[in-house]
Amino acid sequence: MDPAQPADPRPAEPTPAPPTRSTPSTPTPPGRETLPPAPQAASSGREKARSERSPKDMAISLLVLLVPIALLLAFYRGFLGGDQPSTVDPAPALEQARAANVFPVSQPTGLGAGWKTVSASYRVVEGGSNLRIGYLTPEGRGAQLVQSNVPPERLLPAELTAEGQPQGPTEVGGRNWQRYTARGNEQALVLLEPGRTVIVVGDARENELRRLADALR
């Protein structure tokens, strides 16, 4: 029997552990980056503050918005004449009609400051020429003066529409006019002369239409 072997004085080497297999991290797909959580507390706090606003606060806010608008409207109307109709000078149209010399041209005179001329034109049309002047009456209604050498059988339906029907004669300024109905709530006075027809038409009352017809000179 062999004698016992002396113990090895060197410490035993540790057995190496098997390598750990790390799991690769899954990359985040493009466009799906993780966003920070929305500030729920701050948002809910603002909504709560809005819901707690009193009717008085809302009225004050509305008043703050309305005051500048009211001031602008007052300035527009008071200083810029925002409510005043745009007026025109009828002289160029009257001069054109006189220069054409295709019919006698009359012009209203002495109507007064309450009458506003809002349109004026002279046009060559099929069958003749038309001189047309539009007015705003003192009562704020519309009236139009038409002078033309277009034959009456064509002019009257065009100006008064098919609703225009004679209502009988009337004397204005020493001349015999014819009263006519017109479109809608309009009425007309018609003066038939050789080579010229004069029409005063509009939604103005008859007394203002007669005033315009009587002013023709």
Residue 112 belongs to domain with CATH number? 3.30.200.100
Question: Would residue 35 count as lying in a domain?
Answer: no
169-203 per-position pLDDT tens digit = 999 999 999 999 999 999 999 999 999 999 999 99
Question: Would residue 210 count as lying in a domain?
Answer: yes
Question: Would residue 173 count as lying in a domain?
Answer: yes
Residue 184 and residue 11: Cα distance in Å, rounded?
A: 123
Question: Would residue 205 count as lying in a domain?
Answer: yes
5-37 per-position pLDDT tens digit = 445 555 555 555 555 555 555 555 555 555 555
- Residue 187: phi and psi, rounded to 5, are -140, 165
How many structural domains is the chain composed of?
Answer: 1
Domain that holds residue 113: 91-214
Question: Would residue 72 count as lying in a domain?
Answer: no
pTM beyond 0.85: no
Residue 136 and residue 114: Cα distance in Å, rounded?
A: 8
Question: Would residue 178 count as lying in a domain?
Answer: yes
